[in-house]
Amino acid sequence: MKVVVISVAGGSGSGKTTVVDKIIKSFKKREVRVLRLDDYYKYSPLPFEERIKINYDHPQSLDFDLFVEQIHELCDGKAIEKPLYDYIDHQRKTETEEIEPSKILILEGILVMSDERVRNLSDIKVYVDTDADLRFIRRMLRDTKERGRSVDSVVNQYLKTVKPMHEAFVEPTKKYADIIIPNDYSHDVAVNMMIAKIHEILEDKNQ
């Protein structure tokens, strides 16, 4: 089986998940699998009080070796045991999730294009580009409502790590993108073009 690999990057709160969901809805459920880079945060032996101080927006906080290994396995038609991450506890969970191979593999994460190995495995590289103020508002709403964070902790993390790490490691990966989607506006045209390209690649790979 030939697999189309799509990387979707962009800043925290840029709208990556919205773009990914639109792609998923355009294909049969069994045809698409998603690997979210956030699940590949490294296990930390530190106590909770120390774990909350870790810079989770730096590439070194992520287990890219395992991420790349499992991409290869899925592309080779093998099922994987994907790690899971607990945002409230700031820790990788002990349980895993079984992911079966599929024709389309989407890789999503703010730093997904920062690793050359991942870029080389990607047939389509997408960067979702959104105004910084809007990204911060979205992050604030998400982290307070879904991840049990206080307003102060979100603001402090944004100023200390999220913003500077975005400028140092996330924004520069835009240059690798095949498609840049301005998420401040309607992006249906860009998504539809991407879906057409996926079909084209699938047809070429299966000839």
The answer as to whether 50 is a domain residue is yes
Spatial distance between the Cα atoms of 118 and 133, rounded to a whole number of angstroms? 29
Residue 88 sits in a domain whose CATH number is 3.40.50.300
The answer as to whether 141 is a domain residue is yes
Q: Which structural domain, as residue segments, surrounds residue 57?
A: 4-201
Global pTM reads 0.87
pLDDT confidence of residue 37 = 97
The answer as to whether 207 is a domain residue is no
Q: Could you tell me the CA-to-CA distances from 134 to 12, 23, 41, 46, 107 in Å, in that order?
A: 10, 23, 25, 33, 23
Considering Cα of 31, then 83, then 150, then 140, what sign does the dihedral take? negative
The answer as to whether 175 is a domain residue is yes
pLDDT confidence of residue 35 = 97
Query: Phi, psi at residue 7, to the nearest 5°?
Result: -100, 130
The answer as to whether 206 is a domain residue is no
The answer as to whether 125 is a domain residue is yes
pLDDT confidence of residue 178 = 93
pLDDT along the chain (207 residues), means of 10: 91 85 90 96 90 88 97 97 92 94 96 97 92 79 83 82 87 94 72 88 75
Domain count along the chain: 1
pLDDT confidence of residue 186 = 61
pLDDT confidence of residue 157 = 80
pLDDT confidence of residue 185 = 60
14 contacts 130 by C-beta, under 8 angstroms: yes
